[in-house]
Amino acid sequence: VCVCVCVCACVRMGVCLSVCVVSRALGLSTAIRLVLAEPRYIPSLSMYPTFDIGDRLIAEKVTYRFNREPLRGDVIIFTPSEGVVKKAYFNPFSDNVFIKRIVATAGDTVEVSGGKLIVNGVVRDEPYIKDGSIKSYSLDKVTVPKGYVFVMGDNRDNSYDSHIWGPLPVKNIIGRASWKYWPPSAWGEVNKADALNE
């Protein structure tokens, strides 16, 4: 308000009103993006076929703050752990984020053997992964520590994820992929077809 009053003293009323409206709109959109939800785009094939390069989605930020803990099957966006990528200056709108699916949560054991993901000793049925199996690697049994999740891309053979750099701290999660809005043919909620909630 003070800025608007100062501007009004210096310029005509029409310009003052425009500056005030634009300032408030920018403030509101920034607050929404920091607290409620933000748009994201898919830059790689690591989540193919669930998401393709150029797909766009909304990541909501309310569920994990007020409703529930992250679950197996949730598709999340997150900042990578320290040392996973080159460190950058703090930027809340950085594009240096990853998108992956949670495959195990705190206390779970996870391994990859014979091309299959095994969680808590049970082979997982994963109809959403590319080619139906993992061909390029195996993973010895890992127990996910408290405060962490284990994340993997749906394109398992082409994903830089927890099978390489280990469990992800829950505090690094930015939000949950909730709505796909591009391309228009894929418009809709990221639901059980895309995120196998349990």
Print pLDDT tens along the chain (198 aa): 444 544 444 455 555 667 666 666 666 555 555 555 688 888 899 999 889 999 999 999 888 888 789 999 999 999 888 777 665 555 555 567 899 999 999 999 999 999 999 999 999 988 888 777 788 899 999 999 999 999 999 999 999 999 999 999 999 999 999 889 888 888 888 865 444 444
Side chain identity, residue 62: V
The pLDDT value recorded for residue 132 is 76
| Contact criterion met (CB below 8 Å) for 157 and 183 | no
How far is residue 102's CA from residue 195's CA, in Å, rounded to a whole number?
Answer: 9
The pLDDT value recorded for residue 198 is 46
Which residues are catalytic, by number?
Answer: 46
Residue 101, classified by CB atoms within 10 Å of its CB into exposed (0-12), middle (13-18) or buried (19+), is buried
| Contact criterion met (CB below 8 Å) for 195 and 75 | yes
| Contact criterion met (CB below 8 Å) for 42 and 99 | yes
Residues pairing with 167 in the sheet: none
The structure's pTM equals 0.78
